[in-house]
Structure 1
């Protein structure tokens, strides 16, 4: 009996010990990266976050800082929220050899003495299904990455930050802004920049003009939500196409300039055919989840910058513009960057990079935010 009690007591202690270690925003590890571009030092981090239900999860990301002597005061932080990289664990941007090239403006941010905190999001680089386009879960992982970066020796990250994201990351940035004050009152958000953000998810699914991209992203969404929420795909498509959706999602990571393989192309065509027969934006429970994870314009505080390519075929410009107008009706200060002739990737690159970073720097410097609401 005594030995049984001893075992039970030891078990209780074993379970109790990690409780404080699992505090959201606490750093688990920071592994230095040896092969970095000139002037940069970087760490692959693991840290604790939580989902919307409060369950703790260990997740991953990157912290990049200037390679120079420690400053006397903490550095300003930019949280970079990446675009869609996939929904499989292997698709974490922090594991990609192209991380530095794929992160817009990274060299410029480091040259301006920013610390760049780049979370992978839950389920990318960590166990568990990735909650693709689930706003609260993704936002919490961004906020907790900023918290964790403060414990990275050598980075000198402070608690004042801006968030900048593109595509899926633009959605994450807007949700980060909406949840920051309630979830992370220990941090100070100075501004939010969203490049080509999906805002009204059902409207964008219907209006985006690239049918192949819509099919691929729909496959990611269906697979992610079926894994994360346990949703059945029976109402959308047959068992054969469900296997196609699973293979597309488990086998494909999105990287710039990579052309899809033949099997991927054929899988996309199969999903496109299924889309002709079923409108997932009106099919429950997917429709309700899309609506719940669309961005409420009233929930996003300013100051705010939105950049949108006028020829974007993945995030419909009309949907983004409608969201921006709704924000303006709330009298929220908004800078609007229209990238004339720009594609989906142009809203965070090229001239938009410098404009966005200038806007972010002005927010840190306490300048009055510009307001383009009367212009469009």
Structure 2
């Protein structure tokens, strides 16, 4: 493609992404850093890990994004479990609404959508810098009187190694963030609090994984409901339509995430020189906006000597992270955009059918819109669903 045509394409895509970001509630501003008072050494895990999943490693007061008038916040590092079943340390944020008795507050495990691989993109950093694009959804939960436990997911540190889209790690991180919130003395929450989970896109997949894992991994939690939108349930079916398209940066990031979670996959052995340089640059610098703009329309052939996507080792690990293999014990709201250009609608419908086949209580909603718009427009229905679950109202299944 001539340079002038490529530049024009980038211009159009930039304008599109900025417009969509505004629709979602706020523009992700990668240049905004965390407050200087919050030392980044907080994110560096200790050399040795001890304790049980959900135990607090360290905590400090933090900022609730733009919700300073309605909530208090603490940043936490807590013990969790990676995709291989090994102990790891994960950071996150606990938020408690002001004017609410924390001892009686319900708790929502909030799983953020894609923020990007770079350290500065961690959800807690975006929140502190008032650049968290899901702030309106977070505010809705706080204004409803719910405490929130928001995970950063695994791997956000000054030397980032995030396990993006690896459900077996993300589900643990969500559940252990809730456990950590309940164990944080400053928050004052009850360990008997009813718990719900909510997330969209990456977060939608994470909360569905958490729901599937909860009976065995965190059976003490009183899980009353799960709301997940834009769910990437089958990574193969999500990845293939992104090749050469607007969302290619998400496909590339998913390869990085899988490689971080499963080192034997050896992504480097598939990359050419350009791929090594660009993937390293992505991991050090890219947040959501860069993923959408800088890599839009690219193809794996530009970055690899051979594609790992359909090789047996990669397919095996991807298969381990396919949703729908076990039931979620609480009522579920699953929603998706019929015009979703980033997370294929067909594979979400397959997950719906698989869950219904397992006898779950599932409410399915489809919206005539695109992926990024639904970040914002799906919030009201998700919030109403959780309110009914906390109120003890029976769910209406569409299965």
State whether TM-score is above 0.5. Answer: yes
1:233-272 mapped onto 2 (5 Å cutoff): 233=267, 236-254=270-288, 264-265=294-295, 271-272=299-300
- Residues 1:94 and 2:124 aligned together: yes
Residue 283 of structure 1 aligns with which residue? 311
1:198 Cα deviation after fit:
0.3
Does structure 2 conserve the Cα–Cα contact (< 8 Å) formed by 1:197 and 1:315? yes
1:42-61 mapped onto 2 (5 Å cutoff): 42-61=73-92
CA offset digits 1:31-63 (Å, max 9, x no partner):
223574322111111111122444322221111
CA distance in 1, matches of 2:258, 2:223: 30
Equivalent residue for 1:122, pick from 154, 165, 173: 154
2:317 alignment partner, SS class = helix
Residue 211 of structure 2 aligns with which residue? 177
- Residues 1:356 and 2:382 aligned together: yes
Equivalent residue for 1:189, pick from 220, 223, 238: 223
CA distance in 2, matches of 1:59, 1:116: 16
Equivalent residue for 1:82, pick from 80, 102, 112: 112
CA distance in 2, matches of 1:210, 1:44: 38
**Which segments of 5 or more consecutive residues in structure 1 lack a partner in the other structure?**
1-17
CA distance in 2, matches of 1:270, 1:41: 42
CA distance in 1, matches of 2:139, 2:207: 21
- Residues 1:217 and 2:244 aligned together: no
Distance 1:245 1:128, change over 3 A: closer
| Larger Rg belongs to | 1
1:45 alignment partner, SS class = strand
**Which segments of 5 or more consecutive residues in structure 2 lack a partner in the other structure?**
1-47
1:127 Cα deviation after fit:
5.9
Question: How many residues in Structure 1 have an aligned counterpart in Structure 2?
Answer: 346
Between 359-368 and 216-225, report the one with greater CA deviation.
Answer: 216-225
1:150 alignment partner, SS class = helix
Residue 176 of structure 2 aligns with which residue? 144
2:194 alignment partner, SS class = strand
CA distance in 1, matches of 2:309, 2:339: 23
Residue 17 of structure 2 aligns with which residue? none
1:27 Cα deviation after fit:
1.5
CA distance in 1, matches of 2:292, 2:208: 30
Distance 1:290 1:57, change over 3 A: same
Aligned-residue RMSD, C-alpha: 2.7
CA offset digits 1:156-191 (Å, max 9, x no partner):
333421111111111111110011111112211111
Does structure 1 conserve the Cα–Cα contact (< 8 Å) formed by 2:62 and 2:73? yes
Does structure 2 conserve the Cα–Cα contact (< 8 Å) formed by 1:82 and 1:103? no
Residue 40 of structure 1 aligns with which residue? 71
Residue 24 of structure 1 aligns with which residue? 53
Distance 1:156 1:98, change over 3 A: same
CA distance in 2, matches of 1:289, 1:69: 44
TM-score (norm 1): 0.83
Between 231-240 and 113-122, report the one with greater CA deviation.
Answer: 231-240
TM-score (norm 2): 0.78
1:317 Cα deviation after fit:
1.1
CA distance in 2, matches of 1:297, 1:55: 22
2:106 alignment partner, SS class = strand
Residue 366 of structure 1 aligns with which residue? 392
Does structure 2 conserve the Cα–Cα contact (< 8 Å) formed by 1:219 and 1:248? no
1:211 Cα deviation after fit:
1.2
Between 138-147 and 278-287, report the one with greater CA deviation.
Answer: 278-287
Between 293-302 and 162-171, report the one with greater CA deviation.
Answer: 293-302
1:23 Cα deviation after fit:
2.4
CA distance in 1, matches of 2:157, 2:366: 34
1:130 alignment partner, SS class = coil
1:284-323 mapped onto 2 (5 Å cutoff): 284-323=312-351
Does structure 1 conserve the Cα–Cα contact (< 8 Å) formed by 2:117 and 2:162? yes
1:140 Cα deviation after fit:
1.1
Residue 201 of structure 1 aligns with which residue? 235
CA offset digits 1:110-139 (Å, max 9, x no partner):
111100110001102476622222222111
1:274 Cα deviation after fit:
3.9
Distance 1:317 1:367, change over 3 A: same
CA offset digits 1:6-38 (Å, max 9, x no partner):
xxxxxxxxxxxx765x32211223322357432
